[in-house]
Chains A and B, each alone.
Chain A
Amino acid sequence: NAGVMQNPRHLVRRRGQEARLRCSPMKGHSHVYWYRQLPEEGLKFMVYLQKENIIDESGMPKERFSAEFPKEGPSILRIQQVVRGDSAAYFCASSPRPETDTQYFGPGTRLTVL
């Protein structure tokens, strides 16, 4: 049973470009969470999605960031017009049910903005 998959593992963008991060949850999991981690810091919640629905995006910056989890395909975290401060590791997690609470994490995408 494959775990949570994320790609790309490393992404380099220049300021002003767009970054698209993909996450495929574990098989049977329909709940996806995105977190951001700065070096030597903990993970900060960004957004929680179910299939085709954003349930909680309270941790997402109001501008330039968006997320989706379509009926078919992976969840996408999109960052438009990236700035150097967006450089971080972005982790996706999934769970079978929110009330289970145990979230299983992917390996992360490390975004570097030049």
Chain B
Amino acid sequence: GESVGLHLPTLSVQEGDNSIINCAYSNSASDYFIWYKQESGKGPQFIIDIRSNMDKRQGQRVTVLLNKTVKHLSLQIAATQPGDSAVYFCAESHTGGFKTIFGAGTRLFVKA
């Protein structure tokens, strides 16, 4: 079935280092991908998105890379800060669709 999965359930990085969170998707019809950040006790917060006609998109300290050949998505966080500690979800959908499929999440720990 359709699924969005994450390679690493937990990731621990040193403050100031760069973080890379990976995600695999299986639905070739998906053309819209989103990364969300969820802090404890809060709802998911939109971070960055990318459409399938792009390979890379940059935001403030974050970059999303999309490799359609291998159906892989990654989120890069530059100069990781303690405030980045959270669970990160990748999600997929398709244009005009409304059923966003979420992965299981990766917990990011930032060590001071």
Contact = CB atoms under 8 A, between A and B. Distances in A.
Interface string A77-114: 00000000000000101000011011111111000000
Contacts, number: 63
Given A41-B105, A42-B89, A31 B44 contact: no
Contacts of A59: 99
Contacts of B99: 45, 48, 56, 58-59
A44 interface: yes
Interface of A: 4, 6, 31, 33, 35, 40-45, 48, 55-56, 58-59, 91, 93, 98-99, 101-108
Interface in B56-112: 89, 93, 95-105
A98 B43 contact: no
A84 to B, nearest CB: 21
How large, as a class, is the contact surface on chain B?
20 to 34
B105 A42 contact: yes
A101 B32 contact: yes
Contact of B102 (A4, A31, A44, A56): A44
A41 to B, nearest CB: 6
B98 A105 contact: no
A56 B44 CA distance: 21
A107 B105 contact: no
Interface in B1-24: 4
A108 B56 CA distance: 31
Contacts of B100: 33, 45, 101, 103
A42 B96 contact: no
Given A41-B104, A101-B100, A102-B34, A107 B46 contact: no
